[in-house]
Structure 1
Amino acid sequence: MIDALAHIRNWIFDLDNTLYPPGANLFALIDEKMGAYIADLLTLDAVAARKVQKDYFRHHGTTLAGLMAEHGVDPHHFLDFVHDIPLDRLSPDLEMIARIERLPGRRIVFTNGDASYAARVLEALGLHGLFDTIYDIHRLDYRPKPLEAGYARMCEVLEIDPAESLFVEDMARNLVPAKRIGMATVWINNGSELGTEGVQSDMIDYEAAELGAWLRLIQEKEEA
């Protein structure tokens, strides 16, 4: 492990487009389901529904947060519907599995999705059992990343010292609150949708195109 990260005891990872590459394009399937949900809920055509979806995402942090705020949508109903997708696009990356397993301390998934979907994704990636907990949108009390209150609450609930923690995320804007409360940050700049929105270079400690390559880099010194 490189010396600069020797103090890290909590390795916190975003899920979608971070623990697997955006080329898997799971979000296209989820995106389609969200559009269908909104179209049915608000009696809109596909184009209008997509506009609502993206507007809510930008202004509320997630589409779900917007639907809850504006229309009182039941989050369980929404998440069960949009996450009911096949995961056959995912496959285990044996090297990344081994490198995540070698990280010292706790390993945590921090996601705006829900735990049942995250668990399915981890299983498909061969990462099941390697993470200590999944901190999901329900545990966030539906205050999604990048709202800072959710980060602070996660640290309180999980007894995390931000100064001993590192957060890995593909969406640059979601790194800002983590850095502000004292975490080290890693931006997986892999071309995921809206990944570059809200980039603040002083909020990013490390940048990489792919998680596995970054883990290999930080562990090389240990292997030498």
Structure 2
Amino acid sequence: MRPELAHIDAWLFDLDNTLYPESAKLFAQIDRRIGAYVARTLKLDPLEAHRVQKDWFISHGTTLAGLMAEHGVDPHDYLADVHDIEMDVLEENAPLAAAIAKLPGRKLVFTNGDAPYAQKVLGRLGLAESFEAIHDVHASNYVPKPHPHAYRSVCEAWNIDPTKAAFVEDMARNLAPAKAIGMTTIWVDNGSEQAPDADRSYIDYITHDICHWLEATLEEQ
């Protein structure tokens, strides 16, 4: 491992649009189902539902957090509904599995989704055995990234020293709280939707493809 990363003993990976490319458009299916869920639950037309959905994404971190805070929605019902999608757009990624396996230290998934959905995605990608654990939105007590509580939650649950951890994520704003507690931050800038935030000073590394970045990093031993 390159010298500046030699201290890392825990690798945290976001799931959607991070472990698979945004171009697969898997999360686009979820995004449409979220809009439909908001429209149905709040009895809104599709245009207004989309506006509310994106407002909550920005202000609450996720649409689910907004629905729970303002309408008392059951998170289990919501997550089961929005994750009811086809996954045939995902393919096994053996090179990524090999690169993750070579990383020194522990490997975990840290997601605003839930574990059952994450397990299905990992299975499609050939990564079912790549991670020690999945820390999902239930484990974070429904407080999602980028709220600081979510990062404290994953560190406390799995005994992670954030100053010896790296976090890989496609949402740039979700890296800011990680950097604030000492994590090394890697942004997968692959075209996924971003919240309005021009500041990127909290990002240590930028890549368009996490597999290529890991392979290049591991070659620099």
Please say whether Structure 1 and Structure 2 have the same fold, judged by a TM-score greater than 0.5: yes
Partners of 2:103 and 2:218 in 1: CA distance: 9
TM-score (ref. length: structure 2):
0.97
- Tell me what 1:215 maps to: 214
Question: What is the letter of the counterpart of residue 186 of structure 1?
Answer: I
Post-superposition offset of 1:58: 0.8
Partners of 2:198 and 2:170 in 1: CA distance: 11
Unpaired segments ≥5 residues, structure 2: none
Which deviations, in whole Å up to 9, do the C-alpha atoms of 1:156-212 show, x marking residues without a partner?
1110001110000011100000000011000111111116x4243321111111101
- Tell me what 1:201 maps to: 200
Contact 2:139 2:153 in 1 (8 A): no
Contact 2:172 2:200 in 1 (8 A): no
Partners of 1:162 and 1:66 in 2: CA distance: 28
Partners of 1:108 and 1:212 in 2: CA distance: 16
Partners of 1:16 and 1:172 in 2: CA distance: 13
Partners of 1:30 and 1:96 in 2: CA distance: 24
Post-superposition offset of 1:5: 0.8
TM-score (ref. length: structure 1):
0.96
SS at match of 1:201: coil
Which deviations, in whole Å up to 9, do the C-alpha atoms of 1:3-37 show, x marking residues without a partner?
11111110000000000000011121111111111
- Tell me what 1:150 maps to: 150
Partners of 1:187 and 1:72 in 2: CA distance: 33
- Tell me what 1:192 maps to: 192
SS at match of 1:213: helix
- Tell me what 2:110 maps to: 110
- Paired residues in the alignment total 221
Which deviations, in whole Å up to 9, do the C-alpha atoms of 1:35-71 show, x marking residues without a partner?
1111111111111111111111111000000000110
Confirm or deny that 1:163 pairs with 2:169. Answer: no
- Structure 1 vs Structure 2 CA RMSD: 1.0
Contact 1:90 1:125 in 2 (8 A): yes
- Tell me what 2:5 maps to: 5
Contact 1:172 1:199 in 2 (8 A): no
- Tell me what 2:123 maps to: 123
Report 1:8-47 matches (<5 A).
8-47=8-47
Contact 1:167 1:185 in 2 (8 A): yes
Post-superposition offset of 1:83: 0.2
- Tell me what 2:86 maps to: 86
Unpaired segments ≥5 residues, structure 1: none
Contact 1:110 1:135 in 2 (8 A): yes
- Tell me what 2:65 maps to: 65
